[in-house]
């Protein structure tokens, strides 16, 4: 079986690695263009999937957008039997989905139909879910709406961040993909339609979504910190400057929402109900560092206010 692989971030690399480990033939990889980085934006950084594919000698395509006759012709020349999509970052049009004779399947980081969309891990943590998983589904024109082939469930550990959970799901996704392909190749796959009435959505994370609103209760704020760790980082402001906070837990405390109740080994900030204790911060223009080091540098003191 010749496979056409679509993916971009490190999450997708684990699925591609699993395919190569099982000696599937990868006809080609489609990923996003290299991203400019640095102050001058002159350094181009390749996506993790591209780095892995090139190390394996796999052909790589990097269209700005996966549309058009030229792109479709390039895919047909690869003569793939099946397409696999893992966190590619673009919605594929029906004319692309039908190029591989066996269609395309997707590795999605939630238990569909819950959390369809671009950021299922972050939204599952935000909403206080205690379990999530991987769903392998047949792709169709809708957003993560196709029939499911295989599902694997895992608990969301107390205090687990989006970064930690994503790493676990990446490994789980690679294993689940191989299991699903075994079902497909053996004629044992029994795709099940999703219950669309139960669908929930996980839209792309934007900056405002990551802003801490201190008038919320402490438990909600802690979930927000976990959901946006490591990226983009839950944030607030201190004296007009942006401050990102990480590694938080709920603690007893009372005060006006946003008041700094303590600043030492931990930063304790009052919420609408209770307080949160923060162990790491990232002031604007600086690296992530322990609160204790920030306090020693006179970054904050009890009695100040976060907005």
pLDDT of residue 285: 86
Residue for token pair 């196709």: 146
**Domains parsed from the chain with CATH numbers:** 2-198 (3.40.50.170), 208-296 (3.10.25.10)
Q: How does pLDDT run across 173-184, given as a tens digit for each residue?
A: 999 999 999 998
Give percent of the chain with pLDDT exceeding 70: 100
Give the mean model confidence (pLDDT) for residues 257-262: 95
Provide the pLDDT for residue 221. Answer: 97
Three-state DSSP at 257 gives coil
Kindly report the backbone phi and psi dihedral angles of residue 216, in degrees, each rounded to the nearest multiple of 5, phi listed first.
Answer: -90, 165
pLDDT at 53: 97
pLDDT band at 189 (very low <50, low <70, confident <90, very high): confident
- Summarize pLDDT for 83-140 with one digit per residue, the tens: 999 999 999 999 999 999 999 999 999 999 999 999 999 999 999 999 999 999 999 9
Are 241 and 283 within 8 A, CB to CB? Answer: yes
> With 90 as the cut, is the pLDDT of residue 201 above it?
yes
Q: Which of 287, 293, 286 is nearest to 267 (CA)?
A: 293
Nearest to 64 by CA among 21, 33, 95: 33
Residue-wise pLDDT tens digits, 26-50: 999 999 999 988 777 778 899 999 9
pLDDT of residue 42: 75
> What pLDDT band is residue 156 in, cutting at 50, 70 and 90?
very high
Neighbouring residues of 253: CB distance < 8 A, sequence distance ≥ 6:
218, 261, 268, 270, 274, 275
Q: Are 175 and 219 in contact (CB under 8 A)?
A: no
């Amino acid at each position: 079986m010749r496979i056409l692989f679509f993916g971009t971030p490190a999450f997708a690399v684990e699925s591609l690695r699993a395919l190569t480990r099982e000696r599937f033939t990868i006809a080609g990889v489609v990923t996003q263009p290299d991203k400019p980085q640095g102050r001058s934006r002159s350094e181009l950084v390749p996506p993790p999937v591209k780095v892995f594919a090139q190390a394996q000698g796999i052909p790589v395509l990097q269209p700005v957008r996966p549309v058009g006759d030229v792109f479709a012709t390039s895919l047909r020349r690869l003569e793939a039997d099946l397409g696999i999509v893992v966190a590619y970052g673009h919605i594929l049009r029906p004319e692309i989905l039908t190029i591989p004779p066996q269609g395309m399947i997707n590795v999605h980081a939630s238990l569909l139909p819950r959390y369809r969309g671009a950021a299922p891990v972050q939204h599952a943590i935000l909403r206080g879910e205690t379990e999530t998983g991987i769903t392998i589904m047949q792709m169709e024109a809708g957003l993560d709406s196709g029939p499911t082939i295989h599902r694997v469930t895992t608990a969301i550990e107390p205090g687990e961040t989006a970064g930690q959970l994503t790493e676990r799901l990446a490994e789980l996704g690679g294993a689940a993909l191989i299991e699903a392909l075994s079902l497909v190749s053996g004629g044992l796959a029994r795709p099940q339609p999703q219950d669309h009435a139960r669908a929930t959505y996980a839209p792309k994370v934007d900056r405002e979504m990551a802003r801490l609103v201190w008038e919320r209760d402490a438990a909600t704020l802690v979930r927000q910190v976990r959901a946006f760790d490591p990226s983009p980082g839950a944030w607030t402001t201190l004296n007009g400057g942006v401050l990102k906070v990480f590694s938080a837990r709920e603690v007893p405390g009372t005060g006006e929402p946003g008041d700094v109740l303590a600043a030492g080994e931990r930063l304790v900030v009052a919420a609408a109900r209770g307080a949160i204790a923060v162990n790491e911060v990232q002031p604007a223009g600086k690296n992530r560092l322990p609160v204790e080091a920030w306090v020693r540098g006179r970054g904050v003191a009890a009695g100040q206010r976060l907005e």
